[in-house]
């Protein structure tokens, strides 16, 4: 099967050739109709960049049906100032309304980040949503069990993360693990993936911004991330599929109180090479 076909609307501009990250679209000379590199169809990462680069719609990808492409509504895109304000106003939330978020709303947030970039366009990030107080209690106890083990063994990680203090606070009834959030979302990816940790982190970063735009609070759950890395049975208990690992975790829910201002942040150091 040919990887793509070119209709007579093609002008030979070569934009599809330049757009293909795997160099599977070739053009013998400027102005000529592009052709597929023979025998390399399996190398296509299905990013669709070749098709969307064509200004005349002449490029038809056999693996990506044309009807599944959505038009870009440029009038609906926020300007830079609006995006900058959203990013600046994002704050980690550590005081949550305990009421759970409806599952459909959680699914809507995750659906909104399905275009988050992944290494080699593998798009192989999955999610486990810990849903409801009883399940959060189970997950919390799993993290506390890991903390107790680290503290008991007097590990370097226990010292670095002040885990003994966290254990004491938890023993007094303070939820230092989940901060009263009704949900935690774990992003998981294959152990043997190309860039699994980065893919999961990017996905959660996008999810945090999407949550902020939708009016929800979110916070990176460091204790759970560390525990998932060090104690594989915790991931299995949460339902992370075999062969995959939880690399990022985000507390999620409605804020108990909305921030009213943006605190100052220094400009990071920048050098030009």
> Per-residue b/e over 102-114, b at no fewer than 16 CB within 10 Å?
eeeebeebbebbe
Task: Tell me: do 89 and 199 sit in the same domain.
Answer: yes
Task: Tell me: do 165 and 219 sit in the same domain.
Answer: yes
Task: Tell me: do 54 and 133 sit in the same domain.
Answer: no
pLDDT value of residue 232: 85
Judge whether 146 and 234 are in contact, CB under 8 Å: yes
The secondary structure element, H or E, covering residue 189 is strand 183-190
- Mention every residue, 6+ apart, whose C-beta is less than 8 A from residue 85: none
pLDDT value of residue 192: 87
Whole-structure pTM value: 0.91
Task: Tell me: do 12 and 131 sit in the same domain.
Answer: no
Measure the CA–CA gap between 146 and 115, rounded to whole angstroms: 34
- Per-block average pLDDT, block size 10, for the chain (273 residues)? 90 96 94 91 93 95 93 95 97 96 98 96 96 95 96 96 96 96 98 94 98 97 96 93 96 95 96 98
Decide if 266 is inside a domain: no
């Amino acid at each position: 099967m040919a990887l793509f076909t070119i209709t007579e609307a093609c002008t030979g501009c070569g934009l599809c050739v330049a757009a293909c990250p795997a160099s599977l679209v070739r053009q013998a000379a400027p102005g000529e109709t592009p052709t597929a590199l023979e025998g390399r169809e399996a190398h296509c990462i299905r990013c669709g960049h070749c098709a969307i680069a064509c200004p005349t719609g002449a490029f038809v990808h056999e693996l990506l049906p044309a009807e599944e492409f959505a038009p870009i509504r440029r009038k609906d895109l926020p300007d830079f100032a609006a995006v900058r304000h959203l990013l600046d106003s994002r704050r980690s939330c550590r005081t949550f309304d305990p009421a759970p978020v409806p599952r459909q709303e959680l699914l809507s947030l995750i659906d909104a980040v399905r275009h988050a970039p992944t290494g080699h366009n593998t798009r192989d990030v999955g999610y486990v949503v810990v849903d409801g107080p009883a399940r959060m209690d189970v997950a919390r106890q799993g993290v506390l069990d890991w903390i107790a083990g680290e503290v008991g063994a007097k590990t370097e990680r226990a010292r670095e993360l002040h885990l003994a203090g966290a254990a004491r606070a938890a023993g007094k009834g303070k939820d230092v693990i989940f901060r009263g959030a009704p949900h935690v979302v774990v992003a998981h990816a294959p152990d043997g993936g190309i860039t699994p940790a980065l893919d999961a982190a990017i996905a959660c970063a996008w999810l945090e911004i999407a949550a902020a735009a939708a009016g929800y609070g979110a916070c990176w759950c460091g204790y759970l991330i560390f525990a998932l890395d060090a104690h594989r049975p915790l991931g299995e208990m949460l339902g992370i599929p075999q062969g995959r690992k939880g690399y990022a975790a985000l507390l999620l829910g409605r804020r108990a109180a909305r921030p009213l201002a943006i605190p100052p942040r220094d400009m990071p150091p920048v050098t030009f090479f």
